[in-house]
Amino acid sequence: MAYTAKAVANEFLELAKQDGQQLTPMQLQKLVYFAYGWYLAITGERLLNERVEAWQWGPVIPSLYSEFKKFGSEPITDMARDMTSRPFRVRSGNPLKDGQALMVIKRVWEIYGKYTAAQLSGMTHEPNSPWTRTPEKDIKGTDISDELIADYFRKLAMNEHATPTTR
């Protein structure tokens, strides 16, 4: 069972809060994307129950864009909530799966949480990244294939302690 992008986003928002930081919508988009890529590469399973799309300016998870666009480029001040006003969280009822997902999210935060929105965006635009290799990426609604994402992050994993900027 995959998680909602909003649940994964809320985990990042909570980690940022614990570290005394705030995230902009673009930072959050990219962090969720990196978590998706690493989780897919490590487990062979999808972290999110929705696709990552290739928009003109990079990878985007549409539900996150809709949820947080009201903040523009300013820090996000609210967590994503369900219809009962409870925050979404990574909870499936399967402690092993949840633990694995939360471990990847935390590790992604440790590695990528220090970067600005522009730096994170730049990482997603590097040569041979899934976004740059997606045909018709300028057409809103074009999916970035899981195969491209998994392959890219597996290659990063082969380079010990790699992030796109340390290669």
What integer is the mean pLDDT of 156-164? 69
Vertex 36: Cα angle to 30 and 40 (nearest 5):
150
Q: Could you tell me which of 15, 2, 12 has the C-alpha nearest to residue 97?
A: 2
Q: What backbone torsions phi and psi does residue 53 show, to the nearest 5 degrees?
A: -105, 150
Residues comprising the chain, all counted: 167
The pLDDT tens digits of the residues spanning 17-26 come to 999 999 999 9
Sheet with strand 142-143: strands edge to edge: 58-60, 53-55, 142-143
Identify the bridge partners of residue 53 per DSSP, sorted by sequence position.
60, 143
The pLDDT tens digits of the residues spanning 9-49 come to 999 999 999 999 999 999 999 999 999 999 999 999 999 99
Percent helix, strand, coil in the chain, to 5, is 50, 5, 40
CB distance 130 to 136 below 8 Å: no
Q: What is the reported pTM?
A: 0.91
